[in-house]
């Protein structure tokens, strides 16, 4: 036992390739759909082709007689078992939430809703037989357009009497007064600058790589459910709450999951149906959705209309912001769907200081698939609005957009800073991130080039887009969630098991689906306990292994789950200390822990923590009263969110004759506090950027007049590939969070939140001199061309935005637009 051992290299901050990569990238893992159990049956769903219809009859005989069909069950057949799927976040006490049965019984409320399920010996036979189920529908008028639906002329659910779920407000002048913001608006109208705009957040589809798949095995002591989900703990809770089966009798396993992006943050009808059918059959059953089902009937994201009024002085100081938001809920209140726009409510003010703010939210039901979290959930929508508005303000004042932002943002010496929306930001340095981004981007040079090209009247014009964003992540302080009527807490949990062989097992309540927790959490534990990175194993995603947890979403896993790991590690050290003192024949007070070893100050006597784990395991020589284990557990509930920020700069070239757009340069400087694994972080930023850029340029879920999803395949829903993007330049600054022991902030959504406005601002900046002040997303060549054409034809309306006046949802043909069109080189 000596203290003279080399201290391990610091793991935190080190580029580590992901431990998970080998099995994930080579496809050697077992996805849910790979699972085959003895005697397993297969399910296929029968789905409504109508957006809104009464079910007047279902004929199942032909399907039942099909080869190898074991059963056909309709909603009525399981009526006694069915309860409404839960919504965890009714945002007000009086929120109206339509009953959401996993299988419709009398009426369907969106195209794709399940009306029956076929059980067969193979998936192919189940699908073939599903075609034979004959459902009689009586079509009803459908509420499809968000704005029209808010007028209640056609009801998505006639029994609710309205499409409006509720009304929710945040008002800096006190609930409902509106005084402060109205005063700011009137003052700006009289002698300042007033920017009034209406922006559309189009509907998006969280198109993860692995479609959802579920296996239920009811044959054991417990009912086991494997699901490609982000939230095994929430699924277990929801199944117990809606089926009456005790939680302790349900095991939910999320094996390796091929992405989620919020789209697997739910208890989905298909999970409930698979669980229910498995129990009824008494045999293992499996359901795997097709890609078409995934796009059509999984939940969608965004889908809002934002009416915005920004008040400022002539000198460019923002004085107030009013937001009136219509949010499409789709047919049902999803798990956290109504809460998504509420998350945005605290972000419209972003990094800017002003005194008057009012946010008015009306969530509206329509006859389309329901809307829930999609990467960023509420925060990208808010960031888009404010970052577009700041550009409009700069344009109105004829000033540089970064200069106008800098004049309004919180100074780095002003933290912690409580915003007009009531959030207290932990830390940040907007000047530093912006300066770094400007240097990397070559901001001044590109502005000079832009001027030259404008003066020369080039066909291809250059635009520069800015987004100086912040977001709140690390969902979430339970206390705040409680105040917001959220049904659960926001804590997370970790167990650390110090094995006798010197290895360390870490159990986390988070449930990664591509984020690399096994690697990053191993790095944290390796540093904290001074053990080799390779000796740490991180377990997750099985409620039997990780009994407590709140899963993965809201960029929470590191700042909540990772902090629980830190605290558990510290408890391990505390537990090991008296044993170390005993074995070293020293006083506890004289011990210091460093590099994985307890040493006696002033001597060379020391003992490694893994030796203490072995000593505890044998129990041969422990101090009086010591447990024969140094394992420890910790739950962590954050005091606050964490507030990453950054500056993103984008250069776009726009062909003024074709409307084609080409990205030339993208620079991001993110500040996420302490970074655990820079390689993982840069992967997260890159992936996030692509998703945000895709909203700006390509993706849109389009329904036709009957409510059928037109962009129902990847031919029409333009999910980008690596070939569609350029090589991004990413870097960071570091303002450690003051709310986490490691100083970390989340990163999983930052790229998506920041990039959409940067890109659209760049496209508009390229053609602003032609009179264009707005182009609705996605900025397809057609929309860009129309905006330029209409502005040139005198159609530009500086108050409402040229293209907004011409935006026609029915011709919103982004689904068939060619993303390579344009050829602006
Ligand atoms: N990290 C780090 N240092 C930091 C912050 C994070 O090293 N300062 C690491 C973390 O340890 C973790 C990863 O970066 O390995 C992401 O961490 P975090 O920001 O905590 O986000 P979560 O792990 O909670 O992941 C959720 C987030 C969300 S909300 C969406 S949506 C999203 C995303 O992550 N969906 C993803 N990234 C995704 N990545 C993949 N591959 N697939 C998805 O579906």
Q: What is the CA radius of gyration of the chain?
A: 28
Euclidean distance between CA atoms 19 and 372, whole angstroms: 31
Determine the distance separating the centroid of ligand 1 and the alpha carbon of 426, expressed in angstroms.
Answer: 20
β-bridge partners, 275: none
- The best mutation among 747, 753, 754, 755 to test binding of ligand 1, ranked by most ligand atoms within 8 Å of the C-beta, falls on 747
Q: What is the DSSP string of 663-710?
A: EEEEEEEEE-BS-S-HHHHHHHHHHHHHHHHHHHHT----B-TTS-BS
CB 166 within 8 A of CB 92: yes
Q: Where are the beta strands (DSSP E) in 509-564?
A: 536-539
Determine the distance separating the centroid of ligand 1 and the alpha carbon of 731, expressed in angstroms.
Answer: 17
Secondary structure of residue 775 in the 3-state scheme: coil
416 prior amide bond cis, ω within 30? yes
Determine the distance separating the centroid of ligand 1 and the alpha carbon of 553, expressed in angstroms.
Answer: 8
Determine the distance separating the centroid of ligand 1 and the alpha carbon of 259, expressed in angstroms.
Answer: 11
Mean pLDDT per 10-residue segment, the chain (825 residues): 55 97 90 97 98 98 98 96 92 96 97 98 98 98 98 97 97 76 96 98 97 97 97 96 95 97 95 97 98 97 98 97 98 96 97 96 98 97 98 98 98 96 96 98 98 97 98 94 92 98 98 97 98 98 97 97 98 98 98 97 97 98 96 97 97 97 98 98 98 98 97 96 94 96 97 98 98 97 97 56 37 33 33
Determine the distance separating the centroid of ligand 1 and the alpha carbon of 761, expressed in angstroms.
Answer: 26
- The best mutation among 254, 263, 558 to test binding of ligand 1, ranked by most ligand atoms within 8 Å of the C-beta, falls on 558
Determine the distance separating the centroid of ligand 1 and the alpha carbon of 17, expressed in angstroms.
Answer: 15
Looking at ligand 1, which residue's alpha carbon is closest to its atom 32?
261
Determine the distance separating the centroid of ligand 1 and the alpha carbon of 231, expressed in angstroms.
Answer: 14
pLDDT at 179: 74
Looking at ligand 1, which residue's alpha carbon is closest to its atom 36?
261
Euclidean distance between CA atoms 402 and 238, whole angstroms: 47
Please state the atom number of ligand 1 nearest to the C-alpha of residue 747.
Answer: 19
β-bridge partners, 473: 642
Determine the distance separating the centroid of ligand 1 and the alpha carbon of 515, expressed in angstroms.
Answer: 5
Which residues 6+ apart lie within 8 Å of 777 measured at CB?
Answer: 200, 201, 202, 695, 696, 697, 700, 756, 760
- The best mutation among 29, 554, 683, 748 to test binding of ligand 1, ranked by most ligand atoms within 8 Å of the C-beta, falls on 748
Euclidean distance between CA atoms 389 and 321, whole angstroms: 10
Please state the atom number of ligand 1 nearest to the C-alpha of residue 674.
Answer: 8
pLDDT at 643: 97
pLDDT at 476: 87
Q: Which two tokens stand for residue 695?
A: 């909203």
Q: Which two tokens stand for residue 341?
A: 């726009």
**Whole-model pTM?**
0.95
Please state the atom number of ligand 1 nearest to the C-alpha of residue 520.
Answer: 11
Looking at ligand 1, which residue's alpha carbon is closest to its atom 13?
515
β-bridge partners, 135: 58
Euclidean distance between CA atoms 318 and 390, whole angstroms: 9
Determine the distance separating the centroid of ligand 1 and the alpha carbon of 443, expressed in angstroms.
Answer: 30
Looking at ligand 1, which residue's alpha carbon is closest to its atom 10?
558
Euclidean distance between CA atoms 4 and 16, whole angstroms: 27
Euclidean distance between CA atoms 472 and 573, whole angstroms: 32
Q: Would you call 317 exposed, middle or buried from its count of C-beta atoms within 10 A (0-12, 13-18, 19+)?
A: middle
Determine the distance separating the centroid of ligand 1 and the alpha carbon of 532, expressed in angstroms.
Answer: 23
Please state the atom number of ligand 1 nearest to the C-alpha of residue 516.
Answer: 15
Euclidean distance between CA atoms 106 and 472, whole angstroms: 42
Report the relative pairing of strands 645-655 and 193-204 from DSSP bridges.
unpaired
pLDDT at 27: 84
Please state the atom number of ligand 1 nearest to the C-alpha of residue 752.
Answer: 31
Please state the atom number of ligand 1 nearest to the C-alpha of residue 746.
Answer: 19
Euclidean distance between CA atoms 665 and 726, whole angstroms: 7
Please state the atom number of ligand 1 nearest to the C-alpha of residue 514.
Answer: 41
Determine the distance separating the centroid of ligand 1 and the alpha carbon of 193, expressed in angstroms.
Answer: 40
Determine the distance separating the centroid of ligand 1 and the alpha carbon of 230, expressed in angstroms.
Answer: 12
Instruction: List the Cα angle 32/260/253 in 5-degree steps.
Output: 35
pLDDT at 9: 66
Determine the distance separating the centroid of ligand 1 and the alpha carbon of 747, expressed in angstroms.
Answer: 6
pLDDT at 174: 76
Question: How many other C-beta atoms are found inside a 10 Å radius of the C-beta of residue 54?
Answer: 14
Residues with CB under 6 A from ligand 1: 208, 259-262, 375, 513-517, 520, 552-558, 672-677, 680-681, 684, 687, 744-749
| H or E segment to which residue 340 belongs | helix 339-345
Looking at ligand 1, which residue's alpha carbon is closest to its atom 33?
748
Residue 583 has, within 13 A of its CA and on its CB side, a CA count of 26
Looking at ligand 1, which residue's alpha carbon is closest to its atom 41?
514
Secondary structure of residue 380 in the 3-state scheme: helix
* Nearest C-alpha neighbor of 63 from the set 44, 76, 80, 79: 44
């Amino acid at each position: 036992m000596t203290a003279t051992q080399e201290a391990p290299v610091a793991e935190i901050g080190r580029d580590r390739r992901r431990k998970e990569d080998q099995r994930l990238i080579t496809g050697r893992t077992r996805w849910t759909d790979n699972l085959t159990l003895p005697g397993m049956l297969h399910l296929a769903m029968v789905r409504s082709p109508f957006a809104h219809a009464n079910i007047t009859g279902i004929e199942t005989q032909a399907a039942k007689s099909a080869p190898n069909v074991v059963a056909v069950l309709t909603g009525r057949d399981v009526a006694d078992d069915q309860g409404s799927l839960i919504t965890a976040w009714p945002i007000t006490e009086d929120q109206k939430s339509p009953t959401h049965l996993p299988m419709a019984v009398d009426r369907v409320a969106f195209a794709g809703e399940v009306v029956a399920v076929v059980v067969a010996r193979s998936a192919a036979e189940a699908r073939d037989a599903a075609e034979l189920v004959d459902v009689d529908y009586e079509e009803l008028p459908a509420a499809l357009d968000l704005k029209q639906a808010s007028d209640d002329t056609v009801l998505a659910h006639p029994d609710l009497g309205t499409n409006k779920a509720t009304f929710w407000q945040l008002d800096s002048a006190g609930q409902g007064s509106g005084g402060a913001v109205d005063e700011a608006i009137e003052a700006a109208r009289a002698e300042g600058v007033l920017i009034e705009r209406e922006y559309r957040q189009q509907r998006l589809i969280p198109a993860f790589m692995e479609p959802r798949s579920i296996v239920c095995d009811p044959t054991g002591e417990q009912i086991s459910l494997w699901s490609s989900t982000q939230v095994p703990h929430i699924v277990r809770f929801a199944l117990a709450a809606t089926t009456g089966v005790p939680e302790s009798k349900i095991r939910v396993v999320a094996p390796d999951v091929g992405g989620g992006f919020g789209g697997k943050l739910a208890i989905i009808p298909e999970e409930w149906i698979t669980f229910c059918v498995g129990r009824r059959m008494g045999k293992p059953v499996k359901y795997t959705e097709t890609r078409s089902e995934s796009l059509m009937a999984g939940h969608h994201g965004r889908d809002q209309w934002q009416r915005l009024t920004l008040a400022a002085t002539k000198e460019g100081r923002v004085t107030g912001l009013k937001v009136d938001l219509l949010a499409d809920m789709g047919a049902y209140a999803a798990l956290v769907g109504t809460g998504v726009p509420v998350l945005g409510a605290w972000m419209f003010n972003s990094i800017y200081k002003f005194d008057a703010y009012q946010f008015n939210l009306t969530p509206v039901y329509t006859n389309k698939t329901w809307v829930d979290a999609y990467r960023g959930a509420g925060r990208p929508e808010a960031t888009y609005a404010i970052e577009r508005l700041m550009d409009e303000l700069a344009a109105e004042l004829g000033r540089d957009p970064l200069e106008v932002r800098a004049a309004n943002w919180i100074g780095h010496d002003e933290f912690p800073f409580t915003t007009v929306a009531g959030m207290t930001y932990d830390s940040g340095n907007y000047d530093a991130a912006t300066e770094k981004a400007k240097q990397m981007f070559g901001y001044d040079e590109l502005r000079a080039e832009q001027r030259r090209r404008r003066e020369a009247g080039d066909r291809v014009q250059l635009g520069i887009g800015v987004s100086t964003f912040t977001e709140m992540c690390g969902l979430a302080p339970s206390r705040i969630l409680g105040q917001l009527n959220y049904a659960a807490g926001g804590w997370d949990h970790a167990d650390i098991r110090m094995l006798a062989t010197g290895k360390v097992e870490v159990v986390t309540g988070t449930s990664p689906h591509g984020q690399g927790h096994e690697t990053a959490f191993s790095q944290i534990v390796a540093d904290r306990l001074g053990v080799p990175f390779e000796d740490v194993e991180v377990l997750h995603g099985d409620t039997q292994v990780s009994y407590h947890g709140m899963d993965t979403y809201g960029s929470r896993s590191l700042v909540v789950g990772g902090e629980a790991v830190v605290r558990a590690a510290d408890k391990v050290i505390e537990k090991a200390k008296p044993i170390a003192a005993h074995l070293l024949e020293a006083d506890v007070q004289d011990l210091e822990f460093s590099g994985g070893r307890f040493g006696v100050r002033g001597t060379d006597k020391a003992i490694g923590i893994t030796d203490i784990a072995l000593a505890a395991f044998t129990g041969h020589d422990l101090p009086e009263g010591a447990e024969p284990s140094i394992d420890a557990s910790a739950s962590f509930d954050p005091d606050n969110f964490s507030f990453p920020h950054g500056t993103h700069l984008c250069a776009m070239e726009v062909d003024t004759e074709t409307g084609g757009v080409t990205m030339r340069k993208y620079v991001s400087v993110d500040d996420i506090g302490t970074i655990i694994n820079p390689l993982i972080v840069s992967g997260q930023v890159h992936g996030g950027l692509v998703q945000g850029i895709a909203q700006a340029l390509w993706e849109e879920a389009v329904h036709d007049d009957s409510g059928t999803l037109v962009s129902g395949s990847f031919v029409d829903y333009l999910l980008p590939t690596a070939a569609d993007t350029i090589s991004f330049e990413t870097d960071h600054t570091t303002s450690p969070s003051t709310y986490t022991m490691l100083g970390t902030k989340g990163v999983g959504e930052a790229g998506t939140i920041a990039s959409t406005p940067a890109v659209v601002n760049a496209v508009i900046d390229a053609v602003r001199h032609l009179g264009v002040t707005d182009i609705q997303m996605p900025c397809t060549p057609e929309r860009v061309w129309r905006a330029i054409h209409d502005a040139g034809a005198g159609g530009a309306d500086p108050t409402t935005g040229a293209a907004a006046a011409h935006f026609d949802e029915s011709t919103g043909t982004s689904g068939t637009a060619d993303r390579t069109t344009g050829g602006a080189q």
